Structure 1
């Protein structure tokens, strides 16, 4: 696939196929949630469509159906979440949700960014909503941010700028988050982890107050992934229910997301360039996830730069554990995030 195709030109036959899939996804959103789950869960294993086709499909669909649990289903499984107050603060150009328990004296707060391969995801997805509810129920306020997706010609730095705007708003509103700016942390999952780490680097380099720490769940931090042999890749690709990002797909998505900045930009891909001065960082990797190599490499780079770094591996877990609230791996991920945020300041 060429860069020209990734910038928006799709061969005619592929464009027609992607357009048809887009309309199918749009129709699927109108069907009952169990039907959406059955269709999407049966289509997750194996190779993803080429990036240009995937982007075209999403541009037509408007948004992908969300097969995750509803709010009511989350409360039925986790009744303690009902105590959390959820509001939608007005941040210019950046949709957001604020999760807090009434009263209390929080020790830390988290500004959180969901994933979605830079091209999809919403504040309603479990990775955003359940994470916010779960941490807030444990006494950790969460500001969950949305951002512009890399669709319809949008690319870096627009999503990064949105996260930066949300972070700057948070540190200017300590009363709303319940903690001073010095106790606010910045984090994200998957592509959201990329955005959080990239913004943390921008803040380190003078664009605002750095976070107390950086919190990353199964992040992608480099424009390419390496270190996998064919057998290991095939095992992830063929695993039922797993999300499989091939090295070629990650490379093409990176070129699409980076746009004119190019995939060598150290803020678009925070695993590139100097990491000295990065705040303390937590990284949670999933074993059955090709992006794990990026998280592992980033941890090595941080430690070499003298950054306090904590790394955890979820054995056997596929990518996206925070989108699976009813699994042991999903619960373990939230536990790790909460424990990190509650640790004594150093």
Structure 2
């Protein structure tokens, strides 16, 4: 399917930009990147009860924001990690706040959005990973106070957040003997080196300007930012390298026009080989990072509904 027209209409200013990393660092180019990345919220963005809190962690408190779709006790919960290549993002970015509001309202659920430490200023793995593990433990251990059904906690994240969500669930399986009800990595980065894309995916990516797709060089820099330039990542840092047997049911959500789709598709095959209940859904016409778009874009609306339905199972 072609790139969604709402997205395609904003691609032209990106045509001659270098990588997103270079564009973000260049004051002359950054406005063009921001023009593509900045979207107005949907007219009906839900208003839900929110409260800022913090989970205790080994590197200090981990800020979280709790969204409550309904006041009743024993609601299902979503622990949500935003993306940002491990180096940017916060609780106010669209992928964090809009997603949390929409899912909380649609599912009548409790959504806990996690402000993990970024891999900047000398911060490296396992610090962001440890933050996410600590936040999930906090949600699990405070389920009654949060009004959560402890048997219906879903852990999910987008892009780098999908990596962190998956690595944290693996760690909790191994250290605590505990698993959430479901794991949902969304357009996640799961391999240190992305597997070779299928011919159809490779062809689709040629339709995008370079800044709107990952390259092997960009992926190598992303991994180096997270784990360090001279360190081999373990299975908690890059979950495709982990032992996957015994993982909880997993839903992988991909974007059609995204190199990282190859990572998720290969990960799904590894889950199947490990007898893990898994499903892959590819959102047609969308690029990486599409949960930063408003719900008025129909594939985004469909994905938010899918997330809500998943945590209600």
TM-score > 0.5 by shorter chain: yes
Inter-CA distance 312–104: structure 2 relative to 1 (3 Å threshold): same
- Larger gyration radius, structure 1 or structure 2: 1
| More displaced 10-residue stretch of structure 1: 328-337 or 104-113 | 104-113
CA positional deviation for 1:210 = 2.1
Deviation string 1:307-333 (CA, Å, 9 cap, x unpaired) is 000110112211112111131121121
3-state DSSP of counterpart to 1:268: coil
How far apart are the structure 1 equivalents of 2:240 and 2:116?
A: 21
1:10-21 superposed matches below 5 A: none
Contact 2:198 2:262 in 1 (8 A): no
Of the three residues 259, 265, 268, the one matched with 2:237 is 268
Counterpart in the other structure of 1:282: 251
Is 1:304 aligned to residue 273 of structure 2? yes
How far apart are the structure 2 equivalents of 1:94 and 1:297?
A: 32
Counterpart in the other structure of 1:18: none
3-state DSSP of counterpart to 1:108: strand
How far apart are the structure 1 equivalents of 2:49 and 2:284?
A: 33
TM-score of the aligned structures, taking structure 2 as reference length: 0.84
3-state DSSP of counterpart to 1:211: coil
Of the three residues 77, 80, 83, the one matched with 1:109 is 77
Inter-CA distance 102–334: structure 2 relative to 1 (3 Å threshold): closer
CA RMSD of aligned residues (A): 3.0
Inter-CA distance 252–242: structure 2 relative to 1 (3 Å threshold): closer
Larger RCO, structure (CA 8 Å, separation 6 or more): 2
How far apart are the structure 2 equivalents of 1:40 and 1:96?
A: 33
Aligned residues: 294
Counterpart in the other structure of 1:150: 119
CA positional deviation for 1:184 = 1.1
TM-score of the aligned structures, taking structure 1 as reference length: 0.76
| More displaced 10-residue stretch of structure 1: 102-111 or 294-303 | 102-111
Counterpart in the other structure of 1:131: 99
> Where does the alignment leave 5 or more consecutive residues of structure 1 unmatched?
1-37
1:173-188 superposed matches below 5 A: 173-188=142-157
Inter-CA distance 278–261: structure 2 relative to 1 (3 Å threshold): farther
CA positional deviation for 1:236 = 2.4
Counterpart in the other structure of 1:291: 260
CA positional deviation for 1:175 = 2.7
Counterpart in the other structure of 2:3: none
How far apart are the structure 2 equivalents of 1:46 and 1:195?
A: 29
Contact 1:281 1:308 in 2 (8 A): yes
CA positional deviation for 1:151 = 1.0
3-state DSSP of counterpart to 1:166: helix
Is 1:333 aligned to residue 303 of structure 2? yes
3-state DSSP of counterpart to 2:212: coil
Contact 1:110 1:141 in 2 (8 A): yes
Counterpart in the other structure of 1:27: none
> Where does the alignment leave 5 or more consecutive residues of structure 2 unmatched?
1-8
How far apart are the structure 1 equivalents of 2:88 and 2:12?
A: 17
Contact 1:225 1:293 in 2 (8 A): yes
Inter-CA distance 39–308: structure 2 relative to 1 (3 Å threshold): closer
3-state DSSP of counterpart to 2:113: strand
3-state DSSP of counterpart to 1:148: coil
Of the three residues 82, 91, 95, the one matched with 2:55 is 91
